Amino acid sequence: MKNYKFRINGNQYEVEVLEIEGNMAKIEVNGTVYDVEMQREIPKVKAVAPPAPVQARPVKDSKPAPESAPGKASDVRAPLPGVIIQVLVRPGDEVKPGQTVCTLETMKMENAIKAESGGKVTAVNISTGQSVLQDEVLIVIG
């Protein structure tokens, strides 16, 4: 997946992330494979972030998603950490509520990521093969 080089106390470490499933990762450090349990630490920045993104993504709303008001942007976020395997929109494309905008592979399953609201795509922050974290902004619809 990804390769890293670290120098800790003068020692060189070559680290390759082999696989991530949920909070477990399989990594190789200088040729030795380890199973590592990850703990997700919430960045301090998120604690002071306004709750607007939560309102832009209603999860259990029984009503159909409303069209975005002109000039109001809405974010399409990653529901889980994973790897982008397909991007279906580009900046300037018009999307409708419920339209699939990309495909995310998480825990060896493909997930169709859909737009919650309609409008014009103003930004695509991802590319095929890119690893993303949970709640990372993938696409912005204006």
What CATH code is carried by the domain that includes residue 125? Answer: 2.40.50.100
29 and 75 both lie in a single domain: no
- Residue 68: pLDDT above 50? no
> For all residues of the chain together, what is the average pLDDT?
80
58 falls within a domain: no
81 and 22 both lie in a single domain: no
62 falls within a domain: no
Given the DSSP bridges, would you call strands 82-87 and 94-95 parallel, antiparallel or unpaired?
Answer: unpaired
79 falls within a domain: yes
Percent of the chain with pLDDT over 90: 41
The residue that leads in pLDDT, 11 or 101, is 101
pLDDT digits (tens, 9 = 90+) for 42-54: 555 544 545 444 4
56 falls within a domain: no
Kindly report the backbone phi and psi dihedral angles of residue 48, in degrees, each rounded to the nearest multiple of 5, phi listed first. Answer: -100, 0
85 falls within a domain: yes
44 falls within a domain: no
Strand partners, 13: 6
Contact 74, 117 (CB under 8 A): yes
pLDDT digits (tens, 9 = 90+) for 15-24: 888 888 888 8
Domain count, the chain: 2
Cα distance between residue 122 and residue 93, in whole Å:
8
75 and 134 both lie in a single domain: yes
75 and 117 both lie in a single domain: yes
pTM: 0.50
Q: Give the range of the structural domain holding residue 100, as residue numbers without chain letter.
A: 71-141
59 falls within a domain: no
The residue that leads in pLDDT, 1 or 111, is 111
Rounded mean pLDDT of 102-130?
91
The residue that leads in pLDDT, 117 or 65, is 117
Predicted local confidence at residue 36, as pLDDT: 86
User: How far from the centroid of its chain's Cα atoms is residue 133's Cα?
Assistant: 4
27 falls within a domain: yes
Residue 62: pLDDT band by 50, 70, 90 thresholds?
A: very low
